[in-house]
């Protein structure tokens, strides 16, 4: 098995006195797609926020590329190449497509490299190149998701945390987002994917973990989880 890029050990995260994560542990290995699945409120998004230090862990340890990052602030997480694309896209609606992308490269000092990365995003998502002067808020939901992914790629991710990339999108656009995720992984990007669409997620994932009220209750190869009717019915909403 490839090297573990991310190791999460016995993480507990609280909102006030409420435990959102109750001692979870898992690993993401180099060049894998790993998915976190579960119903609303299971702790999936909190897990990503904890890893990226938006909602820091109260207990436990997070190791990224061999370094303990548990207490590293969010901007330091980004500087290390661990990039979080949040639920709901969170693009800047009053900035242009190009300006949104450039914000994703705030750690870069090299303007030539920044321009090269913007062009790479436009090559990957031609519709964004066509609309580079448009305000982000005028894009369709699918285009905004492409912009959110493109902004994440501007930081040169070693590990990409993707939170609900298919949320609210039409089936044809979901299929396109799925293809984009597969292509990124084929090109060498390691991905930790949170998805309500279990069929999509398990079709992509090398390995999966199922969360239930802040605990990991099941894990296994993506194909095994996808084909387990009991798992689908009990934990994945019967999709």
Show the tokens assigned to 85: 């694309």
21 has which bridge partners?
Answer: 13
pLDDT above 70 coverage of the chain, percent = 96
Q: What's the pTM value of the predicted model, to 2 decimals?
A: 0.92
53-105, pLDDT tens digit by residue? 999 999 999 999 999 999 999 999 999 999 999 887 789 999 999 999 999 99
- The beta strands (E) that lie in 97-167 are given as 159-163
Please give the residue range of the domain that contains residue 185: 4-89+157-235
Q: Which helix (H) or strand (E) holds 182?
A: helix 171-186
Is 73 domain-assigned? Answer: yes
What is the structure's pLDDT at 107? 81
Residue 59 in contact with residue 109, Cβ under 8 Å?
no
Gap between the Cα atoms of 178 and 197, Å rounded? 11
Give the contacts of 66 (CB within 8 A, at least 6 positions apart): none
- The beta strands (E) that lie in the chain are given as 4-15, 18-29, 33-37, 59-64, 67-68, 82-85, 159-163, 190-194, 207-212, 215-221
What is the structure's pLDDT at 13? 96
CATH of residue 211: 3.40.50.300
If phi over 0 gives left and psi between -120 and 50 gives alpha, with beta otherwise, what is residue 105? Answer: alpha
Query: How do strand 67-68 and strand 59-64 relate by DSSP bridges?
Result: antiparallel
32-41, pLDDT tens digit by residue? 999 998 888 8
What is the structure's pLDDT at 239? 45
Is 125 domain-assigned? Answer: no
Best CA proximity match to 143, nearest among 103, 110, 190, 180: 180
Is 80 domain-assigned? Answer: yes
Is 49 domain-assigned? Answer: yes
Our count of domains for the chain comes to 1
Gap between the Cα atoms of 118 and 228, Å rounded? 42
- Three-state DSSP at 2 gives coil
What is the structure's pLDDT at 236? 57
Is 138 domain-assigned? Answer: no
Is 108 domain-assigned? Answer: no
Indicate the pLDDT class of residue 237, thresholds 50, 70 and 90: low
Is 139 domain-assigned? Answer: no
Is 112 domain-assigned? Answer: no
Gap between the Cα atoms of 87 and 162, Å rounded? 8
Best CA proximity match to 5, nearest among 188, 204, 236, 205: 188
**Residue 231 confidence (pLDDT) above 90:** no
96-152, pLDDT tens digit by residue? 999 999 999 988 888 999 999 999 999 999 999 999 999 999 999 989 999 999 999
Q: What is the mean pLDDT of residues 196-218?
A: 91
């Amino acid at each position: 098995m490839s090297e573990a890029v991310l190791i999460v050990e016995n993480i507990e995260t609280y909102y006030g006195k409420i435990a959102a994560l109750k001692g979870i542990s898992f690993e993401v290995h180099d060049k894998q797609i790993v998915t976190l699945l579960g119903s609303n409120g299971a702790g999936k998004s909190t897990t990503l926020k904890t890893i990226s230090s938006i909602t820091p862990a109260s207990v436990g340890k997070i190791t990224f590329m061999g370094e303990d990052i548990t207490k590293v602030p969010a901007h330091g997480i980004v500087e290390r190449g661990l990039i979080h694309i949040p639920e709901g896209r969170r693009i800047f609606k009053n900035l242009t497509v190009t300006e949104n992308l450039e914000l994703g490269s705030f750690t870069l000092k090299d303007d030539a490299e920044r321009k090269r990365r913007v062009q790479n995003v436009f090559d990957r998502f031609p519709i964004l190149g066509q609309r580079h002067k448009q305000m982000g808020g005028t894009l369709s939901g699918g285009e905004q998701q492409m912009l959110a992914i493109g902004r994440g790629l501007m930081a040169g991710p070693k590990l990409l945390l993707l939170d609900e990339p298919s949320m609210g999108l039409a089936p044809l656009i979901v299929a396109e987002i799925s293809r984009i995720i597969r292509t990124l992984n084929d090109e060498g990007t390691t991905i930790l994917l949170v998805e309500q669409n279990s069929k999509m997620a398990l079709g992509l994932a090398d390995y999966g973990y199922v969360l239930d009220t802040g605990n990991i209750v099941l894990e296994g190869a993506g194909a095994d989880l996808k084909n387990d009717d009991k798992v689908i019915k009990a934990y994945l909403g019967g999709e």
